[in-house]
Amino acid sequence: MGKKRKFEKDFYFDCQFFKHLWRIVKFLLFPKFNWAVSLILSTLIIAVGSEVVGYFTGLVPGKMYRALLNKDKDEFWNIMLRGTLLYIGKTLLIALTGYSSWFLYLWWRRNCVYQLHKRYFRNKAYYNINCIDDYGVDNPDQRITQDVERMTNKLAINIVPNLIIGPFVIAYYTYKTASTAGALGIALIYGYFVIGVIVNKLLVSPMVKWNARTEKAEGDFRYKHVTVRNNAESSALHNAEDFEFEECNRIFLTLWWRQVRFISWKLPNLFWQQFFDYYGGILSYAIQYIPIFMLHIYDDKPPSDIAMAISNNAFVYIYLVNSFTRITDLSLSLGEMAGIIEPVSFSIDQNSADLLIKNNLETETPYSDTIMEIKNLSYSIPTNSDITLLQGELSFTNLDENILVVGPSGCGKSSLIRVISRLWKQDSGIVVQNTKYRIMRLPQTPYFPTGYLTLLQQIQFPYIEKNDLSSKGIFSFIYFILILQDTLTPGEQQRLAFARILYRLPHMVMLDESTSSVSIDLEKKMYELLKKVNYYMVIE
């Protein structure tokens, strides 16, 4: 494990949030014109159609009042039929809007994950973050999996449909309100909206901070249980049940208290959201006072027309208020999402090229047949340059014989392979590798990627090829086939990893205690098989 930053970065619902949101949109959601853009346009078109049908649907009650007051049966049944068709069309358009939004979510998640993977697995950024210095990026696996899913879900399903259609709806219903309630009615509704925005801003920011802290604690709690699962046998052999019980409860309690604080800050937000939504209905009736008692627009109208006008006006006023309340309601969703978007955006920053390790290691193709050349090599621990592991004492050229590197534990033998492999940077010296030759590294702990891979794929790792392994005589060396990784002993794992050398037949292989878990006789046989490789370096 590398250096873990102690600080805990807080996030707020402020200008930085919109900066992070723009970075997400620019670099993740729209890497190029694709189906996501088409789905946004289709969602907009369907939403506009839904609002148009919704407007005519809102006029149905007023016409029904007039038909009932006039006792006109023909008009009643005519309105009944048209209203039924309008409601069917409205529900169909709502369903299509949701369907388009869900596909938009799928494409946005695909784009986000692909772009994050591109940065995470570029120039060994995943190794630098997880093993050297996390640069404040906590639980990168959670950011890529869980956080991206929740972020794109909220954006595509809860926010975008309301956000893209909102300005058009507000503009139209502002015009309809002005035609009956005048400037005073518009001023009342817009003033109501401004008050809502100010109060929301004051209430949401603290909630965002605790939401981000809760998400981090969720990742820590999940990771703790992953480590228990992955090391269950070792833990059981240590009789560590009580320790794991206490530690899991301690980490969960930290999460629980953060959730308590988050929910405590969410309470005033929920109260204000509900108050703003419900009081908007009363406000819409208060605005009716303007055309009826102040402007006297309907003084010469019959009662049936006045009833229809009141119903239609109530619908327009309520819809305009509701359009604003939907925007203010988005602030609660944005506040919850800010605790996700900003850490994801922060992770993108930390995965940028300027934070990756830049070695002065040279990889060239010399004119000679030298596989590797090392001169006056010095290196230290990446997280603490004061701890020097090797000080200008290693040099060799023209590898024409096998090399054995020995020394006490912790003296930096394995670190030599990390430096040669460009995982660590050297303090001084030169390392030149000839790109004409294939060089393999075999660590002490073999790595077998998950994903229900076949034995063929495990041996070919990290390459994807389709070749016949039997022609290389590898199956005679490995007596177990298609056995689950979790059931393999350490010696069996080392033998399976060793088979990769026989399959690839590199020009040079570096082994870091890669036979430590096998018997002496088998180790001798494995080194005899290494004669198929030109040169090798053994760390013991």
Q: Is 50 helix (H, G, I), strand (E, B) or coil?
A: helix
Asked if pLDDT for residue 213 goes beyond 70, the answer is yes
**Enclosing H/E stretch for 241:** helix 241-287
The confidence band for 94, taking pLDDT boundaries of 50, 70 and 90, is very high
The yes-or-no answer to whether 15-355 and 362-539 have a common fold is no
Report the distance separating Cα 276 and Cα 326, nearest Å.
10
pLDDT of residue 175: 92
Mean pLDDT of 230-244: 78
Calpha distance 281→324 (Å, rounded): 12
Distance CA 109, CA 153 (A): 8
Which has the closest alpha carbon to 308: 17, 474, 69?
69
What does the domain layout of the chain look like in residue ranges?
15-355, 362-539
Helices and strands per DSSP (H, E), number in the chain: 16, 8
Q: In what order do the strands lie in the sheet with 535-539?
A: 403-405, 535-539, 508-512, 439-442
Q: What's at 12, amino acid-wise?
A: Y
- Across the range 113-119, mean pLDDT stands at 82
- Find, among 409, 189, 142, 454, the residue nearest to 319 by Cα: 189
Do 61 and 315 form a contact (C-beta atoms < 8 A)? yes
Q: How far is CA 129 from the centre of its chain?
A: 16
pLDDT of residue 57: 93
Query: Nearest to residue 256, comparing CAs of 232, 221, 289, 299?
Result: 221
- Buried b / exposed e across 388-399, counting CB within 10 Å, b at 16+? ebbeeebeeeeb
Residue type, 107: W
Residue 114: burial class (beta carbons within 10 Å; 0-12, 13-18, 19+): exposed
Per-residue pLDDT tens digits for 482-511: 444 556 777 888 888 888 888 888 878 888
* Predicted local confidence at residue 478, as pLDDT: 46
First to last CA, the chain: 22
The answer on pLDDT for 92 being more than 70 is yes
Mean pLDDT of all residues belonging to the chain: 78
**Which residues have C-beta within 8 Å of that of residue 26, sequence separation ≥ 6?**
none
For the chain, what percent of residues have pLDDT higher than 70?
A: 78
- Per-residue pLDDT at 466: 56
Lowest mean pLDDT among 55-69, 136-150, 179-193, 254-268: 136-150
Q: Are 28 and 111 in contact (CB under 8 A)?
A: yes
Q: Across 154-276, where does the E strand assignment appear?
A: none
Is the separation of the CB atoms in 322 and 193 below 8 Å? no
Long-range contacts of 296-300 (CB under 8 A, 24+ apart): 297/180
Closest CA to 284 of 176, 442, 369, 362: 176
Tokens of 268: 């005033």
Tokens matching residue 207? 């909630």
Model confidence band, residue 96 (pLDDT cutoffs 50, 70, 90): very high
C-alpha–C-alpha distance, residues 494 and 510, integer Å: 14
Structural class in CATH, domain 362-539: alpha beta
3 state DSSP class of 386: strand
Percent of the chain with pLDDT strictly greater than 90: 13
Instruction: Look at 301-305, 308-312, 402-406 and tell me which has the smallest mean pLDDT.
Output: 402-406
243-257, 288-302, 464-478: least confident range: 464-478
pLDDT-wise least confident of 206-210, 330-334, 343-347: 343-347
Task: Give pTM, 2 decimals.
Answer: 0.72
Query: Which is more confident, 12 or 81?
Result: 81
Closest C-alpha to 371, from 154, 156, 535: 535
Tell me if 218 sits within 8 A of 141, measured CB to CB.
no
Fold assignment, 15-355: ABC transporter transmembrane region fold (1.20.1560)
